Amino acid sequence: MALKARIAAGAAALALAAGGAGMAGTLSASATTPPCGSDNCSSIWSLKFHWPFPLDVYHGASSYGQPIILFQRSNSDPAQDFVVTPLGSVDSFFDHGRGLISPEFDQAYGHQEAFEIQYQPSGRPSNFCVGTQPDQTANPGDPVSLYPCGASASTIWAQDTRHRDGHSPVPGYFAYINGETDSFSDPVVLNYPAGNPTDMPRIQLNVQPLSTYSDGTIFDNQLWNGIGEGPT
């Protein structure tokens, strides 16, 4: 099930909690990892490598600027524990989000769903979310790391339903637009660079302009499943 469908089914009223933007209750999915506190953790993986290689915090450290990678799936690895926090539509978040996102971003993506991805190893909220460098325009090639949740648009993502991958045999994959993009006709999105998750040194995720093939299909390294309902 796509993130948008889960938000529509269960999102609570938008609230700004101390230490970061959030909902009255976070949205999390059926886990491919053990329970994350009172919730289940979400797994996030790309269409290119699928569920065996989900998002992972390098070395598992809950620290500012810690790189985000893909790593072999494990039911006992807390470095893969994330909770997706829905923020409502970009429009509603712009109206209530204390100016974290720009009017231009709202105008371009107002009907898309906004969310944060918080790192929550073994059920312990870290107050760090997946994003780019805070308070800086997200440029092509900028690395994706952990940064304070709710502090800037860098940890806000918009699920791009306008470019849903209609050609994929696996439904539910979307591009994730970074909230600090300033190129609205060619936004930067969550991207896995060239290489493989097993490569050494580990490859850090970055943001790159949304890329499509001639038939309009988005590159598979820029399409993500953000729910975590993969095979167990």
Each domain of the chain, given as residue ranges in start order, spans 3-225
pLDDT tens digits for range 135-184: 999 999 999 999 999 999 999 999 998 765 444 445 788 999 999 999 99
Q: Is the pLDDT of residue 46 over 70?
A: yes
pLDDT tens digits for range 90-130: 999 999 987 899 999 999 999 999 999 999 999 899 999 99
Name the 3-class secondary structure at 35.
Answer: strand
Strand boundaries in the chain, DSSP class E: 14-17, 20-23, 35-36, 39-40, 45-46, 55-57, 68-70, 82-89, 113-119, 128-131, 145-148, 157-160, 175-178, 188-191, 206-209, 224-225
Average pLDDT of the segment spanning 48-60: 96
Query: Residue 40: pLDDT band by 50, 70, 90 thresholds?
Result: low
Better-scored residue on pLDDT, 8 or 158: 158
pLDDT tens digits for range 10-37: 333 333 332 333 332 333 333 344 456 5
Q: Is the pLDDT of residue 8 over 80?
A: no
Greatest alpha-carbon pair distance for the chain in Å reads: 45
Given 3.40.50.2000, 2.80.10.50, 3.40.50.410, 3.40.640.10, which CATH number is that of 3-225? 2.80.10.50
Query: Residue 215: pLDDT band by 50, 70, 90 thresholds?
Result: confident
Query: Residue 196: pLDDT band by 50, 70, 90 thresholds?
Result: very high
Q: Are 44 and 55 in contact (CB under 8 A)?
A: yes
